[in-house]
């Protein structure tokens, strides 16, 4: 089944991909050695150190991390254990969780007299304004809070208008724009409006700069003094690596940071900035963003991230993602039709659309235990939805009769469909082959029933064909 979907999705490189691959290599090497010596551990720690530095983790964080792991890994409970390689991996997993902030997501602090002020800070281009809109949507829909968005950015042209538009998309009010007011005056008016009109939360989006300067910090200090925010959230771009770490350190020293929001988590395969944030600010990563969609905001779970780095997966995260994104009534209908052998190309297109809602296959695979090696076997290609659009175009170019009965699609029809969808006959053939394979598998499952499937195992679903001497099927 994986092979069928492998060709449908190609996209962004998931966070920590490079680090995950290198650490997997280290632990595979340890596992093969069996019994470990202190020299084996020392060599492994050297490789871990290099892997973390290559992932753009801050040097101070790397030194502290490696020292903690080495101290525990050279103990008798590891060197004398039955599976020392696994024991070292467990120590590294625990150390990763600790470096990322400890187990469990840290929620936004709304424990204050309403309206609760949330101050958004960060450099220009970090995604601060978009993140403000995302948080507003999240609080309004998930927490049922009455949220007011207010732009304090008088530096960037149209910044206030941008936040106003984001507020409209999120379905929350924004503070009316009054030209000529200073950021502090706008903040004061936002809080007054929040108290007067019964808002639960006021999100204050401050101005950014292309780089850190004293004028920016003074402005943020004045706004903090005026509003006494329950949260001062620093928004940083994960793609900027060490620059993000330096930004975090500067903002924390100047104005204090209670939490970090990391954006563009889908665009950086190294992830070193995330591993460094807690150490340089003392504040937890609370939320992560990926993409421009307003619902593309997630809680940060250190233990889940650590699991994904070490190839242990994130089943809990996958279940949550499915619950948030999939149309479950539609999914149940599709599943029933598949099991009944009534699956057609319209249903196939609907299934593709459902899976596409989950994001790239690359990201999904990262959440499944042990799938890191499967991804490596695919080479350096990145998983996305590029082929998805082609498949949808091909199916849309078919007549209703062709979608319901694909067997009627012969050479002349294939040429017409290819021309109408801007694809090739080979593309049409591949789609039909994938659909046929899936249909065949579903029919076998239906014929066997669950008892038969459990009795015979997955081998019962494999294609029937000639067998070589010894009774093993070809392929």
Q: Is residue 464 a known part of a binding site? A: no
Would you say 338 is a known binding-site residue?
Answer: no
Phi-psi sector, 148: left (phi>0), alpha (psi -120 to 50), beta: beta
Is 200 annotated to bind a ligand? Reply is no
Q: Is 41 left (phi over 0), alpha (psi -120 to 50) or beta?
A: alpha
The answer to whether 205 is annotated as binding is: yes
**Any known ligand binding at 405?**
no
**CA 319, CA 314: separation in Å to the nearest integer?**
9
263 is in an annotated binding site: yes
Question: Is 6 annotated in some ligand binding site?
Answer: no
Residue 290 annotated as lining a ligand binding site: no
Please indicate if the annotation marks 207 as binding a ligand: yes
- Does the annotation flag 128 for ligand binding? yes
Cα(104)–Cα(177) distance, integer angstroms: 39
β-pair type (147-151, 201-205): parallel
Q: Is 266 annotated as a binding residue?
A: yes
Rounded CA separation 74/80 (Å): 10
Nearest to 417 by CA among 390, 441, 437: 390
CA gap 92, 192 in Å, rounded: 49
Whether residue 363 is annotated as binding a ligand: the answer is no
Q: Is 126 annotated as a binding residue?
A: yes
75 annotated ligand-binding residue: no
Residue among 265, 283, 474 at smallest CA distance from 362: 265
Is 131 annotated to bind a ligand? Reply is no
- In sequence order, the 6+-apart residues with CB closer than 8 A to the CB of 304 are 314, 316, 317
User: Other CB atoms closer than 10 Å to residue 456's CB: what's the count?
Assistant: 11
Report the binding-site residues. 122-129, 205-209, 263-266
Binding-site positions for GTP? 122-129, 205-209, 263-266
């Amino acid at each position: 089944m994986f092979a069928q979907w492998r060709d449908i999705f190609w996209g962004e490189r998931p966070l920590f991909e490079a680090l995950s691959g290198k650490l997997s290599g280290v632990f595979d090497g340890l596992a093969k050695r069996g019994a470990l010596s202190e020299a084996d551990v020392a060599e492994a720690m050297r490789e871990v150190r290099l892997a973390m530095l290559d992932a753009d983790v801050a040097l101070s964080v790397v030194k502290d991390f490696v020292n903690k792991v080495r101290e525990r890994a050279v103990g008798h409970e590891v060197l004398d254990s039955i599976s020392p390689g696994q024991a070292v991996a467990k120590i590294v997993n625990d150390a990763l969780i600790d470096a990322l902030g400890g187990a469990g997501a840290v929620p936004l602090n709304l424990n204050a007299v309403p309206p609760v002020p949330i101050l958004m800070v960060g450099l220009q281009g970090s995604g601060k304004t978009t993140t403000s809109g995302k948080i507003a949507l999240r609080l309004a829909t998930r927490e049922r809070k009455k949220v007011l968005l207010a732009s304090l950015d008088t530096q960037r042209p149209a910044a206030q208008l941008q936040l106003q538009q984001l507020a409209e998309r999120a379905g929350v009010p924004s503070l009316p724009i009054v030209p000529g007011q200073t950021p502090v005056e706008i903040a004061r008016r936002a809080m007054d409006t929040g108290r007067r009109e019964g808002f639960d939360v006021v999100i204050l989006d401050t101005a950014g700069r292309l780089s850190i300067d004293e004028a920016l910090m003074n402005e943020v200090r004045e706004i903090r003094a005026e509003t006494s925010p329950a949260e001062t959230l620093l928004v940083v771009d994960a793609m900027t690596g060490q620059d993000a770490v330096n930004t975090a350190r500067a903002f924390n020293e100047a104005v204090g940071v209670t939490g970090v929001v990391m954006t563009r988590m889908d665009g950086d395969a190294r992830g070193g900035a995330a591993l460094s944030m807690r150490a340089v600010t003392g504040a937890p990563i609370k939320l992560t963003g990926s993409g421009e969609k307003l619902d593309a905001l997630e809680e940060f779970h250190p233990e889940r991230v650590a699991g994904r780095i070490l190839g242990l997966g994130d089943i809990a995260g996958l279940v949550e993602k499915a619950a948030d994104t999939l149309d479950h009534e539609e999914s149940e209908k599709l599943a029933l039709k598949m099991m009944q052998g009534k699956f057609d190309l319209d249903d196939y297109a609907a299934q593709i659309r459902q899976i596409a809602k989950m994001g790239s296959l690359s990201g999904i695979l990262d959440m499944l235990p042990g799938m890191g090696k499967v991804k490596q076997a695919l080479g350096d290609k990145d998983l996305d939805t590029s082929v998805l659009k082609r498949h949808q175009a091909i199916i849309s170019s078919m007549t209703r009769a062709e979608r319901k009965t694909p067997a009627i699609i012969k050479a002349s029809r294939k040429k017409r469909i290819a021309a109408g969808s801007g694809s090739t006959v080979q593309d049409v053939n591949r789609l039909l082959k994938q659909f046929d394979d899936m249909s065949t598998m579903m029919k076998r499952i239906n014929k066997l029933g669950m008892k038969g499937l459990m009795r015979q195992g997955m081998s019962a679903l494999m294609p029937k064909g000639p067998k070589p001497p010894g009774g093993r099927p070809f392929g």
